[in-house]
Amino acid sequence: MRHFGRLTASVLPPPRSTREVTGAGDTLAGTFLALRAYGATPREALTGGVAAAAEYVSAPPLPIPAPRPV
């Protein structure tokens, strides 16, 4: 992450097997912004966002359309 052009934080995602990457950036950005809104430092928010995105991409995909209970 850069602040006024200076590198202020860098986070590597944990090793995970990737199943689906669609929405990973939204997950990272949403988690980052939510954590910042709750008072986390930029480094803490980035770490949380990367962890959430890593968890998201390793989760099994949802069936489309989702099965409906009968």
Amino acid at 3: H
pLDDT score, position 66: 65
| 8 Å CB contact between 48 and 11 | no
Amino acid at 49: G
Condensed to tens digits (0 to 9), the pLDDT of residues 8-61 reads 888 888 888 888 788 889 999 999 999 999 999 999 999 999 999 999 998 887
How far separated are the first and last CA of the chain, in Å rounded? 48
The verdict on whether omega for the bond into residue 61 sits within 30 degrees of 0, i.e. cis, is no
Choice between 1 and 57, residue whose per-residue pLDDT is larger: 57
Choice between 70 and 31, residue whose per-residue pLDDT is larger: 31
